[in-house]
Amino acid sequence: MIEEKKPEKKPAQVAAKPKVVEEKKKDNVESLPPTNFVVYDYKTFLINHEDKGGKGIDETYKMLDWEGWSYWFFHYEKFGQEGQVLFSTNNLVTGFLSRAEHTTKYTFGRHGVFGEEPNLEVMGVWLCRGPKEIPDGLVKEHPQFEYYKTRQLDPRNNEKDDKMVREFFSLKEDDMFTSIGESGLKAQTLRWHK
């Protein structure tokens, strides 16, 4: 008896689902119009300038693309016993700056510890890409940023803001930071974010 070969059953072909490619949402600074201000060249210029708070900032104001960049004041909101001991307050600054390294292509700033133990403050003045906003790389991606109060500075039209920018970028450790109040606060530690 000859066995009849039964045709093999082939699995039904399932129509392949089209792959949905999610478009990566752009960081707020990536969607801004192009700028002619080259922040890397600027950082080199200001860091090496002898008169950072005077002629250095004068030149900055001339070269800056004011429609594409803005200055900001950052002030850390202390929690509990923070700000009482210098070395641990310095750690807050170091941690903040290391977690902001991914933003160096569109930010530049000076951050530091001010005052005296046991009442130390952490503050910074930053130049950021964006005329009215802080880059998402800080606001949304930085785990400590939510603990900072921020205020946009207008140094071209506000004398106090101009004084703060000039003073912050020219301060040396042990100088008094007077833009923050009448008596000022001693600059204990200063770090560049570049």
Q: Which has more confidence, 8 or 43?
A: 43
Task: Give CA–CA dist 132/142, Å, rounded.
Answer: 19
Residue 176 lies in a domain: yes
For residue range 63-74, list pLDDT tens digits in order: 999 999 999 999
- Reported as a pLDDT band with limits 50, 70 and 90, residue 180 is confident
pLDDT of res. 112: 97
- Reported as a pLDDT band with limits 50, 70 and 90, residue 181 is confident
CATH number at residue 70: 3.30.70.1010
For residue range 3-41, list pLDDT tens digits in order: 566 656 565 565 666 666 565 566 788 889 999 999 999
Residue 13 lies in a domain: no
pLDDT of res. 7: 59
Tokens 């030149």 identify what position?
A: 59
Number of domains in the chain: 1
Residue 137 lies in a domain: yes
For residue range 133-167, list pLDDT tens digits in order: 999 999 999 999 999 999 999 999 999 999 999 99
Mean pLDDT, the chain, whole residue set: 91
Q: What residues have CB less than 8 Å from 122, skipping those under 6 apart? A: 75, 76, 78, 83, 89, 92, 93, 96, 111, 112, 113, 114
Residue 104 lies in a domain: yes
Domain span holding position 181: 39-193
Residue 6 lies in a domain: no
Residue 141 lies in a domain: yes
For residue range 82-99, list pLDDT tens digits in order: 999 999 999 999 999 999
Residue 20 lies in a domain: no
Residue 88 lies in a domain: yes
pLDDT of res. 11: 58
